[in-house]
Structure formats: structure tokens, C-alpha cells
Amino acid sequence: MKPVKIGLLGLGTVGGGTATVLQRNAEEISRRAGRGIIVDFAATLEIERAEELGLEGLRLTENAFDVVNDPDIDIVVELIGGYSPAKELVLQAIANGKHVVTANKALIALHGNEIFAKAQEKGVMVTFEAAVAGGIPIIKALREGLSANKINWIAGIINGTGNFILTEMREKGRAFDDVLAEAQALGYAEKDPTFDVEGIDAAHKLSILSSLAFGIPLQFEKTYTEGISTITPEDVEYADELGYTIKHLGIARRTEQGIEQRVHPTLIPKTRLIANVNGVMNAVLIMGDAVGPTLYYGAGAGDEPTASAVVADIIDIVRVMTSDPNNRVPHLAFQPDQLADIPVLPLEAIQTAYYLRVCVLDEPGVLAEITTILGKSNISVEAFIQKQPKVGETKVDIILLTQRVNEGDMNKALAQIEALTVTCSHVVKIRVETLK
Ligand code: HSE
């Protein structure tokens, strides 16, 4: 059989990794796929660098539309990232009847519903394993390996940069800004680190996981997103004292009222396996009703780990590209006409436990005032720490861990606590999950 021809859009870190893996493992890949796979055409703005890769017979262009419009190309691999022109290129490739592989989480999270509908109409596949947690085959696990289960919840460390920063803060007592500067110097974080540290990158990935887990359309805009830039070394230390580690988690949970879809710093018990996922590594914990908890761990970024996911997608497509389009694994795990209209809940409606750090004047009766407000709000305190004030200081931090409560009720109680004359600043609130 004729080899399948790949058109690569982008020959940067992941594009270069993809070409290298396809070439290095060509024999093994063709034994798996049943056909040879060759990178035939690539679009890059760095033609000279691309030539240095030494890919035999590879045609190069600076115009990515040349690749998507080339009649010889069977599968377009989009690795340029961002919204535009990635979206236009992918839609054009689909319109031309080509299958698409993409690593672009932002594109799938925001425009996936439209892209999959168009792909369905044309009978082509759009695969995106590399879009979530890099090399970890998490899309495959959710869409296929766990398809017998009703998924109850997912909790993932799905941004390596944020995990590196929190790991350094915990292990070395360093401040957020200091570690961020190092992460940028090491090339983990972008020059503009907003997407990583403010949770947008994780929210893109979480909205994809949530859709696959619960059979709902992609709804990135409804994902609550809070970053890690306000986490202080004190909070990391207090959490540790209470037996917890702070991780930046993406959490998607099915409840009777709807779906919780949220990214925020989270205290989790130090004893959980996922609490020990450190540095730039990613991990996703999935709770299925039949299988129970399953944990997936690996590299969330990097040239060859991401290429591992991209090439696996290419092989999947090659294996079934001649099959009936109506009998393929659905893009979003559930049949397109079976996507459910379950609401994604607003933040006030979620339920979780809380770590609260309240700065108060060191006076008699202060603690009673705070616990009275919590008691009247039906919020039960699970653990408590108060340090002695430093010499000459009139203020002191008290730390409370609460039981699970509705976020809206917690916010009302906090407004009352912040209005007390004895509290000296905004209460620090970090959500707590036991992941049981
Ligand atoms: N910027 C991402 C991270 C990697 O730090 O995990 C690509 O998704």
C-alpha cells in the first residue's frame, strides 16, 4: 500500500520532535499502522533551520495554506498553536477532506465544537491527544480505556510550569516571583507567563477533559480559573504543617446540580500519590464508578514527549482512515447527537472545603468572633493553627481548615469576617480537596 503523506504545519520544538520520531521509529510505526508514514511537506518560517533537520525529500514552504491545499497530503498536523491562523488552516484542511492532528489546546477548547461538527460533515478525523498533558495518553484513556465507566470526577496537574513553581516554593521555601524568573530562564515558562501561572492553559485542557468525561460540549468560557501568583511561602508552610501540599489543580466533577469545572490552587493531602508529582511533570487522577481511581503520570511538554502523542494520533488515523466514518471513535467520546445539556455550575454553587488564613489583632475574644460567624453560617471547622505573634507585633495569623461547604455560603461568611474591626486584611482562601 502507498505510504500515507503527512503535511506538518510548524517545524519548531514539537514539529521537529514529530519529524524525528516518525523517522527514527519508521519501521516500528509502519508495522503498527499497516502502512508507511512519511513527512512529505512542511510549513515553517525558518526554512534554513528546517533544512538542517536533514529530512530527506521533505518539501518546505513558508505558506501553511500551501500544505493544507496540497492534493498529495492525507493528514495535516497542526503544530503552530494559537487561535489564528490555526483555526482557518484546520477548517481549510477539513474542507479539503484531510484528516487533522493538532496539539493545540486553545484551538480545541474554544473552537472544538465547530471544528468537530465540520469534520463530522466531511467524514474526516480530528485528533488532539497532545493537547492535554503532552505525552500522557489521557484522551485515549478517557475516550476509550474508561468508556465503560460513569466518570465521577477528574483532578489533574495539567500545567508543568505551575507545578515546577509550586514544587520549588514548597521544597526550598522560595517566593513565587523568584521561581517564576528561574522558570523563564530555563525556558519552561513563556516570556508572558500569564497563560501558565494564571491557569488559562490548564483551563483549556480541563474543559477538554470535562467534555470527554461527561459527554458535554466544550465550554471553556464557563471554567472558573484562578492562578497561583498569589500563593505565598507562608501558605505553603502552613499547608505543610496541616499535612497538605498546594497543587494547581484542574477539577471537573459531576454533581446532582451540574458539572463543576474549575482550575485553582488546591490543598491536597500529602499522602496522595498525585501530591508527590513534582517539578514540571503532569498527572491526572480519574474516578470512574466501575474502575475506581486511576492515575496517569508523565511529561506534559517537551519535543519528543509531545511528539509521542502526535505520532500516536497519526497512527490511529492511518489504521482506520479507510473505515466507515460513522463507525469511528467519536471526537468527544460520546456520539455527537448524544452530547448532554448538563449545566456547568457557577463558582458560588460548587462545594469544597477551605483553608482560611485570617490576619487578626492579637486581642481576647477575636477567635470567638470568627468561629461564631462560621458557626452561624453552618460552617464546621476541621483543624486550626495559631502562631504566637512575633515580638513587638500586634497582629497574628490564624489558620482554619473547614469542612465542605457551598462556595456562596463561604463567601457570605468571609464578608462578615472581613468586616470585623479585629481583622486586618483580606482573608486568604484556598480550596481543599481530599481526592477520596
Ligand atoms: N505550557 C504548558 C505547561 C506546556 O507548562 O505545562 C504545554 O501545554
The answer to whether residue 186 scores a pLDDT higher than 90 is no
**Pocket of ligand 1, beta carbon within 6 A:** 159-161, 196, 201, 300-301
Closest to 203 (Cα-Cα) out of 132, 280, 268: 132
What's the pLDDT score for residue 194?
93
Give mean pLDDT, residues 64-88: 97
- Tens-place pLDDT, residues 192-241: 799 999 999 999 999 999 999 999 999 999 999 999 999 999 999 999 99
Neighbour-count burial for 330-357, b at 16+ CB within 10 Å, e otherwise: bbbbbeeeebeeeebbeeeebbbbbbbb
- pLDDT digits over 34-66, tens only? 999 999 999 999 988 888 888 888 999 999 999
Phi, psi of 46 (to 5 degrees): -115, 75
Cα 424 to ligand 1 centroid, rounded to whole Å: 37
Task: Please say if the pLDDT value at position 189 is more than 80.
Answer: no
pLDDT in tens, 384-434: 999 888 888 889 999 999 999 999 999 999 999 999 999 988 999 999 999
Q: What confidence score (pLDDT) does residue 54 get?
A: 81
Q: What is the CATH number of domain 4-135+303-338?
A: 3.40.50.720
Average pLDDT taken over every residue of the chain: 96
Q: pLDDT for 364-388, tens place per residue?
A: 999 999 999 999 999 999 999 998 8
Domain positions in the chain: 4-135+303-338, 145-299, 350-432
Of the candidates 87, 105, 140, 205, the residue annotated as catalytic is: 205
Mark whether 205 is an active-site residue. Answer: yes
What pLDDT does 327 receive? 92
φ/ψ of residue 34, rounded to 5: 90, 0
pLDDT at 191: 66
pTM for the structure as a whole: 0.96
CATH superfamily, region 350-432: ACT domain (3.30.70.260)
Helix (H, G, I), strand (E, B) or coil at 316: helix
Looking at domain 145-299, its CATH superfamily turns out to be: Dihydrodipicolinate Reductase; domain 2 (3.30.360.10)
At 56 the pLDDT is 82
Which protein residue has the closest C-alpha to ligand 1 atom 8?
A: 301
User: Which residues, including other chains, have CB under 8 Å from residue 114's CB and lie 6 or more apart?
Assistant: none
